[in-house]
Amino acid sequence: MALSDQFIEKLIAAAGDGGVVTDAADQAPYLAEERGLMESTCDAVVRPSTTQATAEVVALCASEHVPIVAMGGNTGLVGGSVAAGGVILSTERMNKVIEIDALNHTMTVEAGCILADIQDAAEAENCLFPLSLGAEGSCMIGGNLSTNAGGVGVLRYGNTRDLILGIEVVLPDGRIWSGLNALRKDNTGYDLKQLFIGAEGTLGIITKAVLKLFPLPRSKVTVMAALDDLDNILALFDRLRAGCGDRLTAFEMVAEIGLDLVVRHIPGARDPFAQRHPWYVLMELTSPSENDDLRGQLESALGRALEAGEIVDAVFAESEGQAAELWKIREEIPAAQTREGGSIKHDISVPVSKTGEFIIRATKLVEDEMPGIRACPFGHIGDGNIHYNLTQPVGMDKQAFLGRWVDFNRLVHDLVKSMNGSISAEHGIGLVKRSELEHYAPEIELDLMRRIKSVIDPDNIMNPGKIFEN
Ligand SMILES: Cc1cc2nc3c(=O)[nH]c(=O)nc-3n(C[C@H](O)[C@H](O)[C@H](O)COP(=O)(O)OP(=O)(O)OC[C@H]3O[C@@H](n4cnc5c(N)ncnc54)[C@H](O)[C@@H]3O)c2cc1C
């Protein structure tokens, strides 16, 4: 749908100076898609700098049924901010930290704040905002809320949903709902904010949020352990949970192939062990006390794990630099996979107790289907969330491999469902998983979701075609 010059003029009047991008070259960054798998087009990129301006833009679009795709940092992995014409509404100019109430342990921010900037602002007040993910240097808090982002701190602090006390939303008709509560307790009817969190921009534009803050860690220890047997990962996890409780803030799994790909393809990455092992776990313990002997606790827990045969080796980071090197192995796996060739990705979760069984059964299924395929599972095993990625067989044509994506989805997702798991643990549905949602979600859930969508956005202007096929 082409927008008339008159309509563009109105958008400019609503969004202010520099608030509308119509030049094709300037629009290009907003049309890029993280995985390069989908094409995006739009008639205008609108960048309002206030809630009021956002409301005026949305009301204008509503009056002419112009579709709106909200965009934060555009780091989503499921095509959620891919547009098919209409307006891309970028929150990037709404990027102020409005207030930090250190005593209330809350921070109020605009939706376009970059996650890393929020972390830094919290730290400057001796507080922690614990949401942490690989894209934190560019993703924005509005995008994090809208995808209910997970990341590496979920084990201790929960998903984004658990970290939010209040939000402000511009509704699809242009009205502003201010639910900016900073309350730990509030049982006044339905908890409306939870509808918008994880809605992927299909119900409105989140413009502000009140975030929960936590005590800043004063001590930290980072370790990578090597294991011979997948079953031992859960035994180790159980041992650390029992011995270290909530001090265990991250428990991430890496398979041998993941480490191998990173060391081969990512400049500066190196294997911290003298020899290769089938499995690795990256663990982090933190404490708000400077005097908490985390290293001692972990050494004694890992010593017992070594005696019990659960681990075969462990490397402690002796500096921040070494900790970053260990994290690099974990964080760079997707990039290394891309350099190795085609990769088919699954973002699944199963009950934590079933993670080992899932990996073994899924790997047998995919190897039977395509001999030579290389399963590269990694990720947040302490949350039951495995990025079950498949790397193409050596020498196979990349496009031919990617052409089998739907078949592998069916194999892997059927197994996930049979184990009472989720086909989308943390990245959402967007465009990529619409048909999978349709295939696996019970009709009653789809019906309720569609009804909620049609009540809040009856004209379907907010991110149409996402989550549900129209
Ligand atoms: C290297 C890398 C590592 C990653 N690691 C993780 C990880 O560990 N855990 C994880 O969960 N994700 C991860 N992701 C995915 C991604 O970073 C998250 O989904 C993130 O929350 C998206 O934020 P964004 O600002 O980039 O949102 P965008 O990509 O811009 O948008 C995502 C969705 O939210 C909607 N949206 C954006 N802003 C708003 C708003 N203000 N109001 C309403 N709707 C809005 C969009 O329409 C879209 O549907 C990773 C991505 C990369 C590239």
**Separation of 137 CA from ligand 1 center, angstroms?**
12
C-alpha closest to that of 290 among 204, 240, 218, 339: 218
**Separation of 205 CA from ligand 1 center, angstroms?**
14
200 CA closest ligand 1 atom index: 49
Q: With the CA atoms of 238, 243, 244 and 250 taken in that order, what torsion angle do they form, in degrees rounded to the nearest 10?
A: -20
Q: Pinpoint the residues of the chain covered by CATH 3.30.43.10.
A: 5-90
Q: Are 207 and 166 spatial neighbours (Cβ–Cβ below 8 Å)?
A: no
Neighbours of 298 (CB within 10 A): 25
**Separation of 318 CA from ligand 1 center, angstroms?**
33
Q: Is 144 in the pocket of ligand 1 (CB under 6 A)?
A: yes
Q: Is 140 in the pocket of ligand 1 (CB under 6 A)?
A: yes
Q: Whose CA is nearest to atom 19 of ligand 1?
A: 76
97-215: which CATH topology? 3.30.465
User: Residue type for 4, please?
Assistant: S
Residue range 341-427, CATH number: 3.30.70.2740
C-alpha closest to that of 127 among 163, 180, 181, 178: 163
Residues of the chain with pLDDT below 50 are none
CA-CA-CA-CA torsion sign (49, 55, 60, 66): positive
Q: Is 464 in the pocket of ligand 1 (CB under 6 A)?
A: no
Query: What distance in Å separates the CA atoms of residue 259 and residue 279, rounded to the nearest whole number?
Result: 9
Q: Pinpoint the residues of the chain covered by CATH 3.30.70.2190.
A: 219-328
C-alpha closest to that of 304 among 219, 225, 221: 225
- Tokens at residue 203, please? 């119900």
Residue range 5-90, CATH number: 3.30.43.10
Query: What distance in Å separates the CA atoms of residue 40 and residue 445, rounded to the nearest whole number?
Result: 29
Q: Are 423 and 436 spatial neighbours (Cβ–Cβ below 8 Å)?
A: yes
CA-CA-CA-CA torsion sign (209, 212, 216, 220): negative
The predicted structure's pLDDT at residue 1 = 63
**Separation of 409 CA from ligand 1 center, angstroms?**
22
Neighbours of 340 (CB within 10 A): 18
- Angle at CA 27, nearest 5°, toward 23 and 29? 150
**Separation of 142 CA from ligand 1 center, angstroms?**
8
Q: Is 108 in the pocket of ligand 1 (CB under 6 A)?
A: no
Q: Is 149 in the pocket of ligand 1 (CB under 6 A)?
A: yes
Q: Is 202 in the pocket of ligand 1 (CB under 6 A)?
A: no
Q: Are 209 and 145 spatial neighbours (Cβ–Cβ below 8 Å)?
A: yes
Half-sphere exposure in the Cβ direction for 158 (13 Å, CA): 10
Neighbours of 229 (CB within 10 A): 14
Q: Whose CA is nearest to atom 9 of ligand 1?
A: 151
Q: Whose CA is nearest to atom 31 of ligand 1?
A: 143
* First CA to last CA distance, the chain: 17
**Separation of 109 CA from ligand 1 center, angstroms?**
17
Query: What distance in Å separates the CA atoms of residue 451 and residue 458, rounded to the nearest whole number?
Result: 9
Q: Is 79 in the pocket of ligand 1 (CB under 6 A)?
A: no
- Tokens at residue 46, please? 């609108």
Q: Is 73 in the pocket of ligand 1 (CB under 6 A)?
A: yes
C-alpha closest to that of 146 among 121, 116, 170, 119: 170
Q: Are 88 and 30 spatial neighbours (Cβ–Cβ below 8 Å)?
A: yes
Q: Is 197 in the pocket of ligand 1 (CB under 6 A)?
A: no
Q: Pinpoint the residues of the chain covered by CATH 3.30.465.10.
A: 97-215
Extract long-range pairs of 119-123: CB within 8 Å, 24+ residues apart: 121/97, 122/213, 122/216, 123/216
Q: Is 143 in the pocket of ligand 1 (CB under 6 A)?
A: yes
Q: Pinpoint the residues of the chain covered by CATH 3.30.70.2740.
A: 341-427
pLDDT single digits (tens) 361-418 = 999 999 999 999 999 999 999 999 999 999 999 999 999 999 999 999 999 999 999 9
**Separation of 147 CA from ligand 1 center, angstroms?**
6
The predicted structure's pLDDT at residue 191 = 96
Query: What distance in Å separates the CA atoms of residue 95 and residue 152, rounded to the nearest whole number?
Result: 24
Q: Whose CA is nearest to atom 37 of ligand 1?
A: 143
- Where does residue 382 rank: exposed (0-12), middle (13-18), buried (19+ CB within 10 A)? buried
Mutate to test the pocket of ligand 1, among 40, 146, 252 (most ligand atoms within 8 A of CB): 146
- Where does residue 59 rank: exposed (0-12), middle (13-18), buried (19+ CB within 10 A)? middle
**Separation of 200 CA from ligand 1 center, angstroms?**
9
Q: Is 112 in the pocket of ligand 1 (CB under 6 A)?
A: no
The architecture of the domain spanning 219-328 is 2-Layer Sandwich (3.30)
C-alpha closest to that of 84 among 392, 464, 468, 470: 464
pLDDT single digits (tens) 455-465 = 999 999 999 99
Beta bridge partner(s), residue 316? 223
335 CA closest ligand 1 atom index: 1
**Separation of 144 CA from ligand 1 center, angstroms?**
5
Q: Are 329 and 374 spatial neighbours (Cβ–Cβ below 8 Å)?
A: no
HEC assignment per residue over 320-369? HHHHHHHHHHHHCHHHHHHHHCCEECCEEECCHHHHHHHHHHHHHHHHHH
Q: Is 377 in the pocket of ligand 1 (CB under 6 A)?
A: no
φ, ψ (nearest 5 deg) of residue 285: -115, 135
Query: What distance in Å separates the CA atoms of residue 463 and residue 470, rounded to the nearest whole number?
Result: 11
